[in-house]
Amino acid sequence: MHSDARPGAILPARTRSTAGPDLEPVLLIGGRASATPTRSRARGQPEPGLSPTALAAGRRQAWTLATRIAFRHGFPRLVRRCPIGYGFLVIDLPAPAPATLPPPDPGAIRIALWWQLASSSGLFTAPRETVTPLLPDSSPLGRLLRDPDRPFAALRAALTPPEPEIALALLGQQAEAEDWRDVLRLLAVCRRLQYGARSGRVDLWRRDARQRG
């Protein structure tokens, strides 16, 4: 299994540096600037389409947020910038967690964040024939997802995801405040990309010279 840390390396303690890639101070999706995730538009009101500039800005924002989260938890090399989709992709499994620690368990939070980043990157919803070629040939994650029969069952067996209510408690109540804020911002950016692409009839997973991602 791919390990993002040297053998014997100690995972970051709960008190850790928040240093990482710089984050643009505002969300730039849909032509609106906001220091916090924007609320959903009125029900039934269409989301604005994405211009190439807004699409590129959204992908850059999503990649920055995902990289910040991964950096703080010791697996930045598992998040790769991607010219299509949501601007980033999780390319491999995290290193094995150490023995379970008393709550809040940083290993459990780390796994919950990995699953959140993998899901937000579109790893489980994008066309498999589009995503799997983007994963390294040596990646155990890539081998699992290339399984023609039960790729996601094999992945869940290799890295058990937390139950939804447990994941929510871990991220919302036990994770550091900066992690929770960045998760919410990432969800907001990816949602605006998704709905903006749908409104503008843009395929996020198709390479297009007009899309500057």
Give the model's pLDDT for residue 165. Answer: 84
Q: Are 49 and 200 in contact (CB under 8 A)?
A: yes
Give the model's pLDDT for residue 9. Answer: 41
Residue 88: closest CA among 46, 60, 125, 53: 60
3-class DSSP assignment, residue 27: strand
CA distance 105 to 89: 25
Report residues of the chain scoring pLDDT below 70.
1-48, 97-104, 208-213
Q: Are 38 and 114 in contact (CB under 8 A)?
A: no
Q: Are 47 and 69 in contact (CB under 8 A)?
A: no
Give the model's pLDDT for residue 98. Answer: 59
Tell me phi and psi for residue 79, to 5 degrees: -110, 115
The two tokens of residue 97 are 């967690």
Give the model's pLDDT for residue 152. Answer: 86
Give the model's pLDDT for residue 99. Answer: 54
